Structure 1
Amino acid sequence: MNVTYPEPINSKSSAIRKFLSEFLFWSTALILILIAGLRPVGLDRDSTAYATFIQSVTEVNFLDKEPAFWLIKWFNDVLFHGNIHTFFLIFAALGVSIKFLAIKRLSKLPWLSVIAYLSIYFILHEMTQIRVGVAAGIFLLSIPDIYNRNFKRFIIKALLASLFHYSAIIMVPLYFLNPRKISIIYLLLPITGLLFAYFNLSEMLLTNFVGVLPEFLAYKIRTYLSLLKLGEHSKINILNFYYSSLLVVLYFGLFCYVMNKIKFTYDILFIKILGIMLFMFYFFSPLPVFAFRISEFFGVISIILLPNLVLYFKQKEILLLLIISHFVYYFSKTIRLLNLNM
């Protein structure tokens, strides 16, 4: 005779809590999608340009925009008669949902990662750099492939990300990082980048070696260097609050590694990518567009790494308060920098 026992009450309550947590998590993603997708044209500096572009340009030009952009434009034209809000909704749905999926898979403190994403990247990626936003989300999803040495899955994601923004191809060299060990070079990378920037070595190297680069890239670098000499592009403040705080985060992560305190699967890989990101920011600082684009793309890992590092502190509440304060500061600064009409 088979005897069945009632399911423990705590098991039911745990299942209900899990369901409510999942529901709230994905409901938050939906709200952010609607905010980004249904925003008034003109709220941010790029929405007007996109609206004009998709409603007036009909000839496909893969040098101007990536294949995924044209595919979404065609899809939007066919089904929604080129409506600008459905166009934004498609990009927002992709950018937000992919990042939320990555947060769910990678972060040990998902809600703190959501706060980090909302504060640092939501406006930047889902309201301004909408193509980069999708590509950066795909990059986050590729982290387990780097760790598990799954080249096929990784290269598919890299190619897919590049279909949304060509610059995503810079993620390919990251596959060759050792995800389980950190060498002393990552201690020196940011310092080296700072020295290159401080003594104008970056500008000199870029000027002298621009000829060996592919022409489409060499042309852009020569243009930016010319504008810099004419004073049209001023050098950026490499010691600004945000990047200086990430430098502190990097050395704290390296300290945790040296003290053998790293306990989460992907954190070693995140720390190494953060070191590369800071070097690239400092090295390309004479070319602000390159410096910010590259560093912001790699820097998306911070929405996972920063919350994870909270768990390495004994006084978690104090660090949590400091991190949330940092997020609030950066959020307010992002609104000002992106010229949101709020």
Structure 2
Amino acid sequence: MSIVVNKGMLLYILLLIFLFAVSVFTKARLPKDLNFILFVIINLLLIVFVGLRGNIDPDYSNYLDVFKTSGGNYHASNGIEVGYYLLNHYLLLWKMPFQTVILIMAIFSIYFKVDFFYRFSPNYGLSIFVYFCSILFLFDFIAIRQAVTLSIFMVSLPYIYERRFWPYCILLLLASLIHITAILLIPFYFILNRKFNKKTLYAIILICAIINLLKFTVPLVEVLLKFIYIPGVSADKLNVYLQETDYAPISIKQLILCFLFVFLNFHKEEKSEMFNILINMFVFGVLIGTIFNELPQFAYRMKWYFFWTESILMVNLIDYIARNNLKLTYFLYTVVLLLYGYTMINFLSQQAHRDKTYFFPYKFFFQQ
């Protein structure tokens, strides 16, 4: 696969450079007011970029079809969660344009993520840069319903270490009205705050690495279906997932990062409750992506509820390696720029190869 490089990529490159420049500035101890101004600018920039885009991604037309057909009463058989359906229904009823749906989803999706990075990352600028290059186009552009549920999940995480189950549960129940997979995150309240010993975590990584490198399919779902009844629409979706034959392994990069993050967890001197949760989440992302590899689509959707933590853990890893050596820090930042920048460009190029109307050039909705 050759990488597409042309003038249509200019806006993406400019955004990438801007966010990287922000990560360099936010590494310094900026005045609180300046930090807040950057926070607002990044939010506005990304919300406009995501929320005012036109038909340049694979799922835009599908969401437009949902909007056009949402004038009647809701039926579960249409396969769309009731919360998302009602959003479309009332906007259509109020004669609002379809782009309003995309913009509202972008506001909820982007703001809560940027706010989470702002509050919990040692360098929120670099975390946003990593997120932009690795995940934003997968979800905030394409899988917008799950992008919003992911943001709600991020908002709910402090309730885990605060031991407040009901606010956590209510948020995820609300999120499930947008994407049903959010309901599967509720049991993690009882797991993510635990402090696992290193042998347990390394054993999980080793077993998952062997399974993925040997491309062994785990028949967990097949076994569970013998004992668990799956109702209606969920059963139909499950049958579709079961028809897939492609193997979807956890990448070597993710396995290596998982090992490094766990190592960091037991060697980093200052650790917060949230840091422990984020480490556990990345490990569970590897575990879930592995044990549900019989359902590639399901495993893919579920693991990204946990793998976004790379955006924060990578910053912690760089800080640990550099040990306050600014030259080494900025060298490692440059490595991140090259690696993640290449990842982003390669992904967009693959999408453009599938369909010449995807991503290049970027178009606002009024340019259609």
State the TM-score, normalized to the length of structure 1.
0.84
One-letter amino acid matched to 1:234: D
Instruction: Note the 1:16-165 alignment, pairs <5 A.
Output: 17-41=31-55, 43-59=56-72, 60-63=74-77, 64-79=79-94, 81-165=95-179
Taking a change above 3 Å as real, the CA distance of residues 262 and 279 of structure 1, as seen in their structure-2 partners, is farther
Taking a change above 3 Å as real, the CA distance of residues 220 and 214 of structure 1, as seen in their structure-2 partners, is farther
| Residues 134-188 of structure 1: per-residue CA shift (max 9 Å, x gap) | 1101111122111121112211221122122110112212211263622232212
Once the 2 structures are TM-superposed, how far is the Cα of residue 111 of structure 1 from its aligned partner?
0.3
Once the 2 structures are TM-superposed, how far is the Cα of residue 118 of structure 1 from its aligned partner?
1.1
Contact 1:73 1:82 in 2 (8 A): no
Instruction: Note the 1:210-229 alignment, pairs <5 A.
Output: 210-216=225-231, 217-225=234-242, 227-228=243-244
Q: Does 1:335 align with 2:348?
A: yes
> In structure 2, what is the equivalent of residue 251 of structure 1?
259
Contact 1:211 1:218 in 2 (8 A): no
Once the 2 structures are TM-superposed, how far is the Cα of residue 262 of structure 1 from its aligned partner?
4.7
Taking a change above 3 Å as real, the CA distance of residues 56 and 222 of structure 1, as seen in their structure-2 partners, is closer
> In structure 2, what is the equivalent of residue 283 of structure 1?
291
- Quote the RMSD (CA, aligned, Å): 2.5
Instruction: Note the 1:236-275 alignment, pairs <5 A.
Output: 236=248, 238=249, 243-275=251-283
Looking at structure 2, the residues matched to 261 and 255 of structure 1 have their Cα atoms a distance apart, in angstroms, of 12
Looking at structure 2, the residues matched to 176 and 56 of structure 1 have their Cα atoms a distance apart, in angstroms, of 40
5+ residue gaps, structure 1: 1-14
Once the 2 structures are TM-superposed, how far is the Cα of residue 94 of structure 1 from its aligned partner?
0.9
> In structure 2, what is the equivalent of residue 317 of structure 1?
330
Once the 2 structures are TM-superposed, how far is the Cα of residue 25 of structure 1 from its aligned partner?
1.9
Looking at structure 1, the residues matched to 299 and 96 of structure 2 have their Cα atoms a distance apart, in angstroms, of 34
Taking a change above 3 Å as real, the CA distance of residues 272 and 262 of structure 1, as seen in their structure-2 partners, is farther
Q: Give the share of equivalent positions with the same residue, in percent.
A: 23
| Residues 25-79 of structure 1: per-residue CA shift (max 9 Å, x gap) | 21221121112222112x0011111112211332313452223212321342244
| Residues 276-295 of structure 1: per-residue CA shift (max 9 Å, x gap) | 10111122223220121011
Looking at structure 2, the residues matched to 25 and 260 of structure 1 have their Cα atoms a distance apart, in angstroms, of 27
Once the 2 structures are TM-superposed, how far is the Cα of residue 16 of structure 1 from its aligned partner?
9.2
Q: Name which one, 1 or 2, has greater alpha-carbon Rg.
A: 1
One-letter amino acid matched to 1:109: N
Instruction: State the structure with bigger RCO (CA 8 A, min sep 6), 1 or 2.
Output: 2
Once the 2 structures are TM-superposed, how far is the Cα of residue 113 of structure 1 from its aligned partner?
1.1
| Residues 193-245 of structure 1: per-residue CA shift (max 9 Å, x gap) | 34445373513x433332223324555444433x34xxxx3223x26xxx322
Question: How many residue pairs were aligned?
Answer: 317
Contact 2:46 2:110 in 1 (8 A): yes
Contact 1:262 1:268 in 2 (8 A): no
Looking at structure 2, the residues matched to 108 and 100 of structure 1 have their Cα atoms a distance apart, in angstroms, of 13
5+ residue gaps, structure 2: 1-28, 323-327, 353-357, 361-368
Once the 2 structures are TM-superposed, how far is the Cα of residue 112 of structure 1 from its aligned partner?
0.5
> In structure 1, what is the equivalent of residue 365 of structure 2?
none
Contact 2:205 2:258 in 1 (8 A): no
Structure 1 range deviating more: 173-182 or 97-106: 173-182
Once the 2 structures are TM-superposed, how far is the Cα of residue 132 of structure 1 from its aligned partner?
0.5
One-letter amino acid matched to 1:114: I
Contact 1:277 1:295 in 2 (8 A): yes
SS in 2 for 1:211: coil
SS in 1 for 2:308: helix
SS in 1 for 2:280: helix
State the TM-score, normalized to the length of structure 2.
0.78
> In structure 1, what is the equivalent of residue 22 of structure 2?
none
> In structure 1, what is the equivalent of residue 183 of structure 2?
169
Looking at structure 2, the residues matched to 135 and 100 of structure 1 have their Cα atoms a distance apart, in angstroms, of 15
One-letter amino acid matched to 2:65: T
Looking at structure 1, the residues matched to 295 and 337 of structure 2 have their Cα atoms a distance apart, in angstroms, of 31
One-letter amino acid matched to 1:335: L
> In structure 2, what is the equivalent of residue 5 of structure 1?
none
Looking at structure 1, the residues matched to 235 and 293 of structure 2 have their Cα atoms a distance apart, in angstroms, of 17
Structure 1 range deviating more: 290-299 or 184-193: 184-193
Contact 1:210 1:218 in 2 (8 A): no
One-letter amino acid matched to 1:251: F
Looking at structure 2, the residues matched to 214 and 29 of structure 1 have their Cα atoms a distance apart, in angstroms, of 43
